[in-house]
Every structure is written in structure tokens, then in C-alpha cells.
Structure 1
């Protein structure tokens, strides 16, 4: 667990930032910056595939999620930007585009995903769920969460129930990946039990418990059992950070503490707290969030150890942490979390943006390069700032 001195240190740094830097931007300014970023993002959008060029399959699910998050924050602006139509097009087109997925871990434990596009079939079956399912349970979890958040948008005519049904179908496939260590495997083609697939499984289960009243007990029972296993699995280390996964003996493998591993669990515990009414889950989430901010930052800004070259996968990680920290902040507000979210959003816009308003991978700057993945990841911080400002 994080020591009390670490928590005090985080609060002290947050206060220092407030006293030694300019005031944070207004909510309207964060919204305006996000709108600008959305216009830039859509230059990468491929209407035909429903995906975002320059980034991968699971990354596009996260891009869809950040747009849905913005739509929840500002329905009117999202409508004027055409976000409901983007979501519908991605839902329709992405599942018509088949990929063969190949994943591996490099020497540093960084996931490397390769997707080989297969010629499009002339038709799809039953809403095309076979194309939201592949050999990797983490990919499936990202799409399930994107569909759940699309359901949350609730814009008239968006057909939000079909998104929820899609997520339920994906969840059942994930459930079939039971690992001998407990939880689920990372993939259908290997025996690695890792953090991210299990955090996604937990968050999808808890999210569905809060959105499918007739089956709440079913999803909640799975979510509670998954968390009971996860917290004793050994993946949470002595610093209260989550390592990448378990070894063949079902022990912590000492893998990297990627920021997204510290992120998804926060949102999962928020959903679990909402489903049960038990705020102790929020306390556990706050401890993990505090540990991440203490250990995984540079000068108060979130930092991934692989920067500036994190590949297509690692480039997405930090935004996922910010998104889930925002969910925690909305459920259990703390000044230190709020200030951290705003500080990162301000720094991104001031130091990690080029003259085309593209956002890069290293938020402290200087800007080097951008893709739909780096840009949408940074956008997660901007959308979070709107929510908490």
C-alpha cells in the first residue's frame, strides 16, 4: 500500500503547482481545446473501415471511447461535430473489416500488435459480432467498453440498446477464457495471464451490472469474484502498482507497471462501487491511483517508461489512465486528483502540440510526432479536464 507520506507528498506537489503556475484553464477553454482536437483527429478517420488510420484495431476502440466520453459531457457540441454519426459508422463498418491479429511482447514487455487486413466479406451475420471478436481478450474488452460508452451517450436515434447487446455478446466470449491461475487468459492462442485482460473483464462485468437491470446479479457476481481473485493474485506489488502479469507459476512476473494497468482498474472499481453501494472499492482505487501518480510521473506529468517511442500500443496507455482517473475523481473527488488531471491537460496543450494541433506521445514536450493513437490518448486528458474543471 502507498504510505501516508507518499499521499502527503502528492498533495504537496498539487498545492505547489497551484501556487507556482498560472491558474488552470476554465471548463469552456478545455471544451474549446477538445473541439479543436476532435477536428484534427478526424483527419485520420477512414469512413470506409470505420477505423482511424495510423493506429491499430484496439486503439480505434479507445478512440471511439474518447469521442463517446466527450459526447456524454457535451451533447450539443457532440451533435454539431457529428459524433453520433461517427459512432454509428464505426459500429457498422469496423465489424465488416476483418483482421488477423498477431501479438507479442518485446524485450521490455511492451505489447506489440500487428493486424493484417483480410479482404472484406460481402455481408456480415447477426450484427457482425464475429468481427468484434478475435483471438485476444484484451482487444475484445476494449471494444466492449467502447460499445458500453456509446450506449451511455443516449443520443436520440443512436440505437443505444444494440451497443449494449454487442457488449454482452463480447463479454460471454471473454468469459470463456478462464485461466488456470484464476481470472482469464490474455488470448485464445496462449497461456499468459496478464493484468490488462483481467482488468477489462472486471470493468465490463461491473459496467454491465449497472446497465442491464434484469441480469445485474449475474454480472455483479462475476465482477466481485474477479476482483476478489485479482487483489490476491500477486499482480499488485508492494508499491501498490500493478505489474504486467503472472508467470507460469502464477506469481507476479515483475513485468512493467504500464500506466494503463494502473488505469482500467480504477474505472472497474468505480463501477463495482456503484453496483454494490460499497465505497471501500473507491478507497482501494484511490490508493492505486495515488501510487501511480507518485511513481509514474515526471515533474507532475504522467510518463510512460518507453517514451518517446512506445509504438502504436504503448502510445495509447496514458490516456487510458487519465480516463479512468477522471471516473474515480467524479465518484470520489480529491483535490490532488483534480489538479493532476488539469495540470496534465494544460501541459499537453502548451508543450505537446504542433501547428496543426496534433498531439504527441510525450506530454511534457517538445512535440515530435503524432498518430491517431498519440492524439486520442492526449485527448483523454482534455476530456477529463472538462469533466473536473
Structure 2
């Protein structure tokens, strides 16, 4: 989690400095189960929708919001590894609404809306372009799910309007104007690298914005971005894996293949860009081959395993969820093609998702009511004072070890992506389940809010986390 300008101002005005944590490894919590939606009644005909319903409840009950959410300029769950993952999960919840045919947590989704400048305050000097891209992609999906009647594109402030503001900001600041390796988007303001992630995000956004708005500028942008991706062969047409970026010394692909979310993003971008560039069937075929290449390269006994496992950092623990999200978008589009091979591949991809869903549910699940589940927090313990399940850990093959919102969201993305086409929600109370989240509460040193080895130092009703080399003396870190 990065320090925001809002936080800096807050702590300076109050004479404190708030410590921030780097991964969700600090707090364990357990407790009795709380009242929850009747997922069995709502989804008796779709096991994956049932699983998604229960996993979403655990995510929101256990980790939303962070106890210190009021200090930030964006929505904050208790334990994500920073600003970008708080953006990723918004699309997960929007997809739960869309595929599950419900309005669960709709108020949380709507309350996630921020304007461009609030998001830019996330951390200094500015967020990276890909971090901002996750919010644009989530907001555009929310607009699509809500529809224009609920997200008025003419109002000047809504999910579509915010998406376009973010998109324009990335384009104006991130597109290479100096011709280093022929255009493309920089990763961040340091102009030190060009990664696949921000270029695939912007290809996706440009094409989808053209589909939704019909504006020619977005189709022109789609072509320019695709020409960059294609020119530097970020897609390896022999293995159909996607490279992590461009080598700026040789102006060739960096030949780094691995993160599953790169493959997922490229699949999603191809699905959207194909119709805009009048190459729909060609792009769908490439996306299918990338999906097959990823499954072949990263699967073990039919279950996806992240390239870095078991040494993944906190960022990478959510990658698999992003891959399966865009695989589902591909599945949604396959049936629209006239190519005879598509239905066979669609069946194969659906079976792959189901196999992963079954593996996670059977081998990587823990229910606090049935045993002692290690559930991790980062900004103090859960505001609900209880832990509910099911909760899920990093490895889709199991066994369960510990859960935080990063691993929970990856599993939730998988369950949501596995929901059957046309599934209906059949219990009105559950279908509209949207409880008011608990209000963030001020923390004190008694809540043990600081990372290990950093002393908590109280100053009146406030606190600071001293550096590891400091001690708290009379309310000051020395």
C-alpha cells in the first residue's frame, strides 16, 4: 500500500507519521460466523455461482473496508498489496453482478467511483500508468454492467466519464513521444521501461471505448497501439506466450515469459480490438492460441500454477485470477464466430475453468467454523470482529495455508468466471444482498497496527510506526 498525498497531509496536520505495510502477513484473526446470504437457495442449480456467492461474502465481511480506509483517496480493502489491487477487485465484483444475475454489493461498487485527481493522489509523485489502467478497466466494466441509465455518460461524472479521463491522462503522459523503440506506452513517469501490461490495457480500453462510444479517435488509437505490440513481437507466434515487455537497448522483445496476467490481458485486448480493426476471427484465433499456450505452459494436472510459485511476491498472487477473468471474456465471444473449431475450444476452456474451480474448492478451502483458519490482515484486525468462510490461499491445488484479500480475490475471480451462461439468482434476499459496511475506526497502539520490528508510538489519541532503528520516547520516534 503506497503513501497517499491525503495521508501525508492528514498525518502532518495531526503531528504523526503513519507506517505502511508491504504485504498481508501481520495479523491473524478468527471468530464465529456471521449472518450471511443464503447462497444455497440462490444458486441451487449452479455450483460455481454458489461458490462465488460465498467467497464474495467472505471477502467483503473479512476485509472490507480497511480500518484506516478514511485516510485514503480510493476504496481500500484490508490487506491488498497496494493501490492497483484495490482497483482490480472492483471488476471482480462487477462480474459477480453480471454473471450471477444479482445486485450483490452494488453499493460498494458504486461507492468505488473516484475522479482522476482523487486516484492520482494515491501515492507520490503519481501512480504508474498500469496502476491507473486497472481502475479504467474496472470502471468501464462497471459502466457496462450498470448500463447508461444508471451511469449517465452525459453527466460528466460517472464510471464512463472517469474511464475516459484516466485513459486520456495515460495517453497524454504515457505514450512515447520521443520515438524510443517506436512508440508504445511507458510503464511510469521514469521512462525506464515499456511493459506489456500498460500497452495491453490501453489496447483493451481504446477498443472497448470505441465499441461503447463510437468515437473515431478510439479506433485510431487502437490501431496505433496494436501496431506497436505487433512490431515488437510481444506475442511469440511459435509458443503463443506473451512477453513481459520491450528491451529498450535492442528494441526487441525482452523474451521474458511467465506472468499469467500478461496472457490474460492480451487475450482480453484481442477480443475487444478484433472487431475495431476488422480482424475479429483472426484476433479471436490468436487469443485462443494464447489461452492454449498459457494452459499448456502453466498448468499442472489441469490446474494453473503461477510461474513464480512457490516464491511469488504479493503482487503475483492475484495474477491467476486476472488470467481466468479474461479467459471468460474470450469464452463469451467464441460463440459469435462462424469458425467451426470454436465450439470445441469453448468446451475445452469451460472444462479448464471447472477443473480449477473444483480443485480450489476441494483442496484449497478453509471454513473457520470447521477449524482454525489462518486469515491475514494488514491494517489492524477486521472491523467485524469475526472471520467467516470459505477462505482460500495461494495455490489452486492446495493445501490451504493462509488467506488474505489477494488470494481470496483470485479464487473469487475463478468462481465468477466459471458461472454458467444464463444463470439466474433465485432468492431475492440473497440476490440483492448489499449490507452497509462497518465504518472505519481509529486505531491505537493497543491494536498492534505496526509491521513487525517497528515500534508503535502513541501521541495523544494518535499513533505512529517508528522505523526499525528507532524507539518511542515520550510520544516521539527517536
Do they superpose with TM above 0.5? Answer: yes
CA distance in 1, matches of 2:97, 2:152: 13
Go from structure 1 to structure 2 and tell me whether the alpha carbon gap of 1:311 and 1:101 turns closer, same or farther (over 3 Å shift).
farther
Equivalent residue number for residue 127 of structure 1: none
Per the TM alignment, residue 94 of structure 1 is displaced from its structure 2 partner at its CA by 11
Equivalent residue number for residue 397 of structure 2: 364
Equivalent residue number for residue 302 of structure 1: 304
CA distance in 2, matches of 1:331, 1:90: 28
Per the TM alignment, residue 316 of structure 1 is displaced from its structure 2 partner at its CA by 1.3
Q: Please say if 1:145 is aligned against 2:164.
A: no
Equivalent residue number for residue 7 of structure 1: none
Equivalent residue number for residue 240 of structure 1: 240
Go from structure 1 to structure 2 and tell me whether the alpha carbon gap of 1:92 and 1:230 turns closer, same or farther (over 3 Å shift).
closer
Equivalent residue number for residue 192 of structure 2: 191
Mapping 1:200-349, distance limit 5 Å: 200-213=201-214, 215=215, 217-237=216-236, 238-248=238-248, 249-276=250-277, 278-332=280-334, 333=343, 334-349=346-361
Cα deviation 1:319-362 (Å, max 9, x = unaligned): 11100011111111522111111111111111111113111111
Larger-Rg structure: 2
Per the TM alignment, residue 95 of structure 1 is displaced from its structure 2 partner at its CA by 6.9
Go from structure 1 to structure 2 and tell me whether the alpha carbon gap of 1:236 and 1:276 turns closer, same or farther (over 3 Å shift).
closer
Go from structure 1 to structure 2 and tell me whether the alpha carbon gap of 1:95 and 1:375 turns closer, same or farther (over 3 Å shift).
farther
Per the TM alignment, residue 158 of structure 1 is displaced from its structure 2 partner at its CA by 4.2
CA distance in 2, matches of 1:64, 1:283: 29
TM-score by length of 2: 0.65
Picking from 168, 175, 180, the partner of 1:178 is: 175
Go from structure 1 to structure 2 and tell me whether the alpha carbon gap of 1:364 and 1:239 turns closer, same or farther (over 3 Å shift).
same
Runs of 4+ in 1 over 4 A off after TM superposition: 92-97, 155-158
> More relative contact order in 1 or in 2 (CA 8 Å, sep 6+)?
2
Tell which deviates more after alignment, 242-251 or 230-239.
230-239
- SS class of match (1:327): helix
Q: Is the 8 A contact 2:209 2:218 kept in 1?
A: yes
Cα deviation 1:174-233 (Å, max 9, x = unaligned): 1121232221111112320111111111111111111112x1x21112112211221231
Per the TM alignment, residue 91 of structure 1 is displaced from its structure 2 partner at its CA by 1.6
CA distance in 2, matches of 1:92, 1:186: 22
- SS class of match (2:122): strand
Per the TM alignment, residue 34 of structure 1 is displaced from its structure 2 partner at its CA by 0.6
Equivalent residue number for residue 38 of structure 1: 56
TM-score by length of 1: 0.79
Tell which deviates more after alignment, 181-190 or 231-240.
231-240
Cα deviation 1:34-77 (Å, max 9, x = unaligned): 110111010211164522110021111111100001111234x3
CA distance in 2, matches of 1:27, 1:192: 48
**Residue correspondences, number:** 328
CA distance in 1, matches of 2:124, 2:393: 25
CA distance in 1, matches of 2:152, 2:50: 27
Q: Is the 8 A contact 1:152 1:160 kept in 2?
A: no
Q: Between Structure 1 and Structure 2, which shows a larger proportion of helix residues? A: 1
CA distance in 1, matches of 2:148, 2:110: 12
Q: CA RMSD in A?
A: 2.3
Q: Is the 8 A contact 2:116 2:162 kept in 1?
A: no
Q: Is the 8 A contact 2:318 2:406 kept in 1?
A: yes
